[in-house]
A = this chain, B = another copy of it.
Amino acid sequence: MSHRTLAGTGLVVGYDRARPVLDGAALTVPAGRRLAVLGANGSGKTTLLRCLSGALRPLAGTVTVDGVPLRHSRAGLRAHRQEVQLVLQDPDDQLFSASVAQDVSFGPLNLGLPEETVRARVAEALALLAVDHLAARPTHQLSYGERKRVAIAGAVAMRPCVLLLDEPTAGLDPSAVAETLAALARLEEHDSTVVMSTHDVDLALRWADEVAVVVDRAVVQGAPLDVLGDDVLLARARLERPWALAVGARLRELGLLPGGTLPRDAASLLAALPDRPGVPT
């Protein structure tokens, strides 16, 4: 497992060529960088991720890993799945086994690995997602958040270079979001590049190294502070400006925040503010 650069160019994706969901979308997931894919519901975020994962064949355009194009043959898809894994939003769409450990073993077994290796991979994936204590529990007794993390573990056990997560934090409370983000950080240390889709602009701002906004059937990609500060783009995408950017920009005008990049969340904003009144830096 090592970081790889996953990219798509000129992607036309959809069921109907006359009205594709994506039309000429391009996206690059630089190796080892956190990419957040933003977009309103129905904008095509999920379609884009499914196309990148090989689950959906584009009508036109190419998906590449380190520049090598994905072929949609049986062998081509098989090779691609070992490098790129997609975790769907609803964990019940991926968990088919009654036992957590058995479910996670499904992917590695399909790779044709020997039993010993599979066992080690299952243990590793469960530990990375901090769900090892659930190994012997039945899937149907888990909470929604637990099922979401087990579904991610199922993909992680395949040791993908790039992990695509569709709305991994949707429906989770703040502490479950924090646990998921901590797990993703451990995955990065294990050399998986992580991409997540979300419509939470505040989360994207504080988590991502780069953001890609799906808007008008195309993708606009760039640095978080640039893209998420572009009110025209955000309005077109039916998204909001993150509060930290809105408030931070104004506080900088007021001379209360130092130069450099704007703070991305409440904690760093508070840290950057002066301690006493009347001492703007």
Contact = CB atoms under 8 A, between A and B. Distances in A.
Contacts of A273: 250-251, 254
A13 B246 CA distance: 44
B41 A145 contact: yes
A40 interface: yes
Contacts of A240: 174
Contact of A280 (B238, B246, B266, B277): B277
B256 A270 contact: no
**A41, A273, A276: most-surrounded residue (chain B CB, <10 A):** A41
A255 interface: yes
Contacts of A199: 173-174
B246 A274 contact: no
Contacts of A173: 39-41, 199, 238-239
Contacts of A266: 243, 246-247
Given A243-B266, A280-B278, A175 B254 contact: no
A38 to B, nearest CB: 9
A223 B144 CA distance: 30
A280 B253 CA distance: 14
Contacts of A278: 254-255, 280
In the A-B complex, list the 9 residue pairs whose CB atoms are closest, starting with the nearest: A173-B199, A243-B266, A255-B277, A175-B238, A40-B173, A174-B240, A41-B173, A254-B277, A246-B266
A79 interface: no
- Is chain A's interface secondary structure helix, strand, loop, or mixed overall? loop
Interface in A193-245: 199, 201, 238-240, 243-244
A5 to B, nearest CB: 29
A170 interface: yes
Contacts of A251: 273
A42 B277 contact: no
A182 interface: no
Contacts of A250: 270, 273
A258 interface: no
A143 interface: yes
Contact of A270 (B167, B247, B277, B280): B247
A176 interface: yes
Interface string A145-183: 100000000000000000000010011111110000000
A39 B176 CA distance: 12
Nearest to A201: B174
A131 to B, nearest CB: 15
